[in-house]
Structure 1
């Protein structure tokens, strides 16, 4: 079966070096994920012929737009001791869990294209599918590569917690324990209500967001304007919004969204989705960096 999407490489088109960094020469899904989240590729829809320029660098926190892209754009994301030769060698050897990373790649492409097409609800759906798909596997992959068996066993115990309450909480504990000292983890995310194009909807959506965010994760807010949320609290918000939008059981204690509340669901998810892609991309990049260190 012909794949619907092709990842085109605008950096390496006329460059004969570092062929394992070239998406059109190296079929590695890990490379494709890296290039997608760094905003350094084009995506062609082979069925309708449209080409999308992916320039949002979601590895930066917060997201930055790439104005010009070149190999040095890739290097800027790593420590200064990492060279292009190192990256070329890494993506040559990064072949494990290919099927798993391939599934992430496909969902990521769909999320990014939907966002470019301003289909923010659709983009959110694919974003959430990735989170569900990696919530158990990524922590296991990460700890399996550690050298210290005792440390690995201790980490696994802490990720499960006492209540063993599902894979999504397992993933949250993994992120909290593993990255708690990183700058991005200590930072915050601003939900900007000004991104909602229909001004009359902003007060309603502001109230809906507030109801779904645990108060201990809110750092600052301005009525109908913005809400600042802790990094890990944003993960909880993504899960909560998914549950309240896609579940519609009656007679439960959960307060689900009514369709009358979200007359324009794309507008509701517009201030949320890119931050979610940014959040996810940072975690995926941390896994890639960890793999690179192990190979080096």
Structure 2
């Protein structure tokens, strides 16, 4: 298979210390994912000889831009008990589920590159593919690392609905049960319509967004300006937008987006996508932190 993208590590390239945190020394998919979501890496498009500096720190909530990229940038994302040697040791030992994490890495690179190129609809497609791909595996990976069998079994039972209603619902219950006490879970996400470049579309897209969000998750809103929704509600919105935009079954035609409603799809997804990458990155980082603590 021809690889279009390669990862370039801008951190301490001539320093041999802590080599397992360096992507060029340690070709580990889980390391690459961490460096991608923390905004501490560069990506080279080998076809066009173009380098993208990835500086959006999506581990922070909301996303922050990294002004400096070094070991401290990465270390500051963890609590004070984690040292740089711990990270080095973790990424040396974190070798399980390699094929699974490799598939996430590939999709994540394409998602981020499409976002950087302002191809927001394309970016959304890759974002959703990642969510769909991890919806069953991530909860199982998480609970498999727990010490208490009874707690693990109970958690697994709670994630399955009585109607066994699919992997995305399974993943939703995992998020709800596992992270409900975390600060990020109790935080809100604001869809800013000022990001839409075409003024005439703001009112139309405001209504389209609002129609696809369950009212109970709407925290605040100002017409044609912004919609603030809860963290778990944003997950539901991502699923709903995918279903309504990419499905076109005739029996549900009235529920789906008409092409005349989304004259400029990239403008529609523009206010959505970075929040979506941020949402996904937070969950992936929680898995990495949990795994790190188990190895430590």
CA distance in structure 2 between the aligned counterparts of 1:290 and 1:175, rounded to whole angstroms? 14
Equivalent position of 2:75 in the other structure: 75
Equivalent position of 1:59 in the other structure: 59
1:47 lines up with 2:47 in the alignment: yes
What is the TM-score normalised by the length of structure 1? 0.99
Deviations 1:179-237 (A, max 9, x none): 00000000000000000010110000000000000000000000000000000000000
CA distance in structure 1 between the aligned counterparts of 2:110 and 2:146, rounded to whole angstroms? 32
Equivalent position of 1:96 in the other structure: 96
Equivalent position of 2:224 in the other structure: 224
- In the TM superposition, residue 3 of structure 1 has moved relative to its aligned partner by 1.8
- In the TM superposition, residue 279 of structure 1 has moved relative to its aligned partner by 0.1
CA distance in structure 1 between the aligned counterparts of 2:137 and 2:159, rounded to whole angstroms? 12
Alignment of 1:249-264 (within 5 A): 249-252=249-252, 255-264=255-264
What is the TM-score normalised by the length of structure 2? 0.99
- In the TM superposition, residue 163 of structure 1 has moved relative to its aligned partner by 1.9
SS of 2:201 mapped into structure 1? helix
Equivalent position of 1:128 in the other structure: 128
Equivalent position of 1:7 in the other structure: 7
- In the TM superposition, residue 254 of structure 1 has moved relative to its aligned partner by 5.6
CA distance in structure 1 between the aligned counterparts of 2:146 and 2:217, rounded to whole angstroms? 31
Alignment of 1:233-252 (within 5 A): 233-252=233-252
CA distance in structure 1 between the aligned counterparts of 2:254 and 2:139, rounded to whole angstroms? 29
- In the TM superposition, residue 274 of structure 1 has moved relative to its aligned partner by 0.3
- In the TM superposition, residue 287 of structure 1 has moved relative to its aligned partner by 0.2
RMSD of equivalent CA atoms: 0.8
How many residue pairs match? The answer is 296
CA distance in structure 2 between the aligned counterparts of 1:3 and 1:208, rounded to whole angstroms? 38
Equivalent position of 1:108 in the other structure: 108
Equivalent position of 2:154 in the other structure: 154
- In the TM superposition, residue 164 of structure 1 has moved relative to its aligned partner by 1.3
The unaligned stretches of length 5 or more in structure 1 are: none
CA distance in structure 1 between the aligned counterparts of 2:106 and 2:254, rounded to whole angstroms? 32
CA distance in structure 2 between the aligned counterparts of 1:13 and 1:253, rounded to whole angstroms? 54
CA distance in structure 2 between the aligned counterparts of 1:221 and 1:171, rounded to whole angstroms? 28
After TM superposition, the structure 1 stretch with the greater mean CA deviation from structure 2, 161-170 or 228-237, is 161-170
SS of 1:227 mapped into structure 2? strand
CA distance in structure 2 between the aligned counterparts of 1:176 and 1:101, rounded to whole angstroms? 23
Alignment of 1:28-39 (within 5 A): 28-39=28-39
SS of 2:47 mapped into structure 1? coil
CA distance in structure 1 between the aligned counterparts of 2:74 and 2:233, rounded to whole angstroms? 29
Deviations 1:101-136 (A, max 9, x none): 000000000000000000000000000000000000
CA distance in structure 1 between the aligned counterparts of 2:258 and 2:7, rounded to whole angstroms? 38
CA distance in structure 2 between the aligned counterparts of 1:217 and 1:275, rounded to whole angstroms? 16
Equivalent position of 1:208 in the other structure: 208
- In the TM superposition, residue 12 of structure 1 has moved relative to its aligned partner by 2.3
- In the TM superposition, residue 292 of structure 1 has moved relative to its aligned partner by 0.2
The unaligned stretches of length 5 or more in structure 2 are: none
Equivalent position of 1:138 in the other structure: 138
- In the TM superposition, residue 14 of structure 1 has moved relative to its aligned partner by 2.1
CA distance in structure 1 between the aligned counterparts of 2:245 and 2:178, rounded to whole angstroms? 30
Q: Structure 1 residue runs of 4+, over 2 Å off? A: 251-254
CA distance in structure 1 between the aligned counterparts of 2:250 and 2:161, rounded to whole angstroms? 31
CA distance in structure 2 between the aligned counterparts of 1:39 and 1:87, rounded to whole angstroms? 16
